[in-house]
Amino acid sequence: MKIFDEYILPSGVELKNRVLMAPMTNFLSNEDGSVSLKELDYYARRSGGVGAVLTACANVNAQGKGFEGEIGIDRDELIPGLRKLAASIHEQGSKAIIQIYHGGRMCPPHLVPDNDTVSASAIPAEREGAKTPRAMTEDEIEQTIIDFGESTRRAIEAGFDGVEIHGANTYLLQQFFSPHSNRRNDQWGGDVQDRMNFPLAVVESVKKAVTVHADKPFIIGYRLSPEEREQPGITIDDTLQFADVLATQDLDYLHISLSKFEQSSMRDANATTPVIKQIQHRVGHQVPVMGVGSLYTAEQVEQSLETVPLVSLGRELLIDPDWIQKVKSEESVQTKMDPEKKEEVIIPEPMWTNIMSVPNWIPVKE
């Protein structure tokens, strides 16, 4: 099976197979952003089978904290806990990649200093109760770019094998790329090319940190959401132009955030070609493309690997942490969450209540 083929990333890091654990918010870190024992157990339970584990997003500064119980990577005092997290993944035999991000206007005000949410422009998200953020100053933008680099240094010092820059799911990097949230008329806004400036500066900062601090190959991935529903919003054409540029940045992969692997455009009802195929066709010869989205069975994953070289699994590894091992030994995998197996699959509170309370997000055994 293709699933179990080894894969060498452009940096030279070798993955033992083609399946990674997708980054998923777990709400398990301590209030100060330090890694908790529950979190170590949760990740250890899901490591070992996959080629690499992508952790939940970790905020690069205090202004970017978007969730209760979120991992922090914004202060050196957090490195010892991060080191334990990387080690808990390594001990099971998987590579460890930490996702670094800033929540921007999506941060709940009570989680950030002075309730002061920021974004590219003072435009609220189109959701109920959304607060209008403050447009970031030039100094704040420059500092945030530095913060992504410093967070990469901490990831290196903690023993991670890589970082994934979170440019998807409506958070700050996407907010700068989006014509909805970015109405700036300085160097950080404008047409589609100019709206790339901030995320590309972050990529450059991360690369510099790797050059200075890493003494062995280190993975740099970039996650993006290919479209937005808002008007104006990110279009497939915008994303293909952005992918063209990202493909020249010496990245290890582009991780395309989709709810369904094979979905076509959510902006164009007449579109039939899957978004992932468009991106793979456009840049797959230059940079590895990773897909994700509602892939529950080995057959579905194997089929997806006909399109892209790498796949990440999220909900599937919540339901069945032994998914890879079972596929390898030809055992049947669980595709629906069994509420009675909560202890066995190690999904501690408050994560269990949070994920089970989202309607239809996770298939549940009757």
Phi, then psi, of 280 in degrees rounded to 5:
-60, -45
Give the containing element (helix H, strand E) for 152: helix 138-157
* Residue 330 in this model has a pLDDT that exceeds 90: yes
Q: What mean pLDDT comes out for the span 276-301?
A: 97
Mean pLDDT value across residues 270-292: 97
pLDDT for 366 = 82
**Confidence (pLDDT) at 176:** 98
pLDDT per position as a tens digit, 290-316: 999 999 999 999 999 999 999 999 999
Decide if 130 contacts 152 (C-beta within 8 A).
no
Residue with tokens 């063209």: 244
Query: What are the domain boundaries of the chain?
Result: 2-356
pTM over 0.95: yes
- The residues, ordered by sequence, that sit 6+ positions from 236 with a Cβ below 8 Å of its Cβ are 226, 227, 265, 267, 268, 271, 275, 278
Q: How many CB atoms lie within 10 A of CB 156?
A: 20
Residues 164 and 221: beta-carbon distance below 8 Å? yes
The interaxial angle of helices 275-283 and 236-246, nearest 10 deg, is: 30
Contact 252, 162 (CB under 8 A): yes
Question: Residue 173's closest CA among 27, 72, 313, 60?
Answer: 60
Fold of the domain spanning 2-356: TIM Barrel (3.20.20)
pLDDT digits (tens, 9 = 90+) for 125-157: 999 889 999 999 999 999 999 999 999 999 999
In whole angstroms, how far apart are CA 231 and each of 120, 122, 126, 141, 266? 17, 16, 10, 25, 13
Q: For 69-128, how does the pLDDT look when each residue is reduced to its tens digit (9 = 90+)?
A: 999 999 999 999 999 999 999 999 999 999 999 999 999 999 999 999 999 999 999 998
Question: What is the pairing mode between strands 162-167 and 118-119?
Answer: unpaired
What residues does 135 pair with on adjacent strands? 119
Tens-place pLDDT, residues 176-194 = 999 999 999 999 999 999 9
Convert the pLDDT of each residue in 195-243 to its tens digit: 999 999 999 999 999 999 999 999 999 999 999 999 999 999 999 999 9
Biggest CA-to-CA distance, the chain: 57
Active site residues: 171
**What is the mean pLDDT of the segment spanning 341-364?**
94
Token readout for 83 is 């080191």
Q: Alpha-carbon torsion 199, 205, 208, 214, what sign?
A: negative
Q: Return the exposure string of 61-87: e unless at least 16 CB atoms fall within 10 Å of the residue's CB, then b.
A: bebbbbbebbbbbbeeebbebbbbbbe
